Amino acid sequence: MIVVLLGAPGSGKGTQGAPLAEHLGLAHVASGDLFRDNIGRGTELGKLAQDYIKRGVLVPDDVTIRMVLDRLTSTDAAGGAILDGFPRTLAQAQALDMALAKQDQRVDAAPLVEVSTEELLRRLAGRWICRAAGHSYHEASNPPREPGRCDIDGSELYQREDDTIEVARKRLEVYFEQTRPVVDYYRQRGVLFEINGEQSIDEVFHDLVDALQATRTAA
Ligand code: ADP
Ligand code: ADP
């Protein structure tokens, strides 16, 4: 099963994506995490992506598509994947469809996690993520048990350079201009369903699991 998790920056894709993938036995493929890993390791790809990410604009399609499609060929993704943060443009969505079609696969479900702009900005401004794996916390609504430490792997928490209010606003603008057409693309395919993202983390998780299990049963 291939799932495309859709939603604006701050809607909770990362928070839901990892446990959801584990629950459903799928790989969690998050494009932002792949970029940050490359930046951390100082790779050529990381050097190229760094400047775009800092400014809150999209990394060019060719680089992004290559990186994600390459990740999808790893063995742990053979049983399916939850894509988080990709596709963000129509060109990326079309490239994904073409690559999947070559393997007789398709996007089976595209849940859209909906959250108001005001709440998105509150979430981005208070977000802390862990160095080791990008696990997400919020200083008010989802604090770690021990301040500054990840509950799951004990690594240090930090605030992303692109989570300032100015860059967050820019990222939301980019989302509405460039990524919203992707939502319509999946709606026309009949695989899109909306999830209310302004519930507790557990409630959003249960809605996602119920809808995805129904999709799997129907397939
Ligand atoms: P968030 O989850 O807060 O939206 P991400 O971690 O997914 O943020 O992405 C961080 C940044 O990485 C984006 O602002 C963008 O610069 C880059 N990026 C991530 N995914 C893509 C993509 N599919 N296409 C282009 N750029 C991307
Ligand atoms: P995305 O990956 O879509 O950019 P994240 O999963 O990183 O979003 O979540 C953004 C911020 O909102 C984080 O600080 C996270 O702890 C918090 N958050 C996620 N889901 C919820 C929720 N349902 N209620 C309140 N805060 C949430």
Structure confidence by residue, pLDDT tens digits, 141-173: 999 999 999 999 999 999 999 999 999 999 999
- Name residue, tokens 């990326």: 92
Helices (H), the chain: 13-24, 31-41, 44-55, 61-72, 90-101, 117-125, 165-174, 180-189, 201-218
Ligand lying nearest the CA atom of residue 85: 1
- Test site for ligand 1: of 48, 58, 61, 72, most ligand atoms within 8 A of the Cβ: 58
Which of 182, 137, 136 is closest to 5 using CA atoms? 182
pTM of model > 0.85 = yes
User: With 80 as the cut, is the pLDDT of residue 185 above it?
Assistant: yes
Confidence band (pLDDT; 50, 70, 90) for 75? confident
Mind listing the domains of the chain with CATH numbers?
Answer: 2-125+173-218 (3.40.50.300), 130-163 (no CATH)
Which of 27, 28, 1 is closest to 135 using CA atoms? 28
Q: Cβ(171) to ligand 2 under 6 A?
A: no
Q: Cβ(160) to ligand 2 under 6 A?
A: no
User: Ligand 1 mean position to 155 CA, how many Å?
Assistant: 22
Mean pLDDT, rounded, for 75-102? 96
Task: Give catalytic status of residue 54 as yes or no.
Answer: no
User: With 90 as the cut, is the pLDDT of residue 216 above it?
Assistant: no
pLDDT at 57: 98
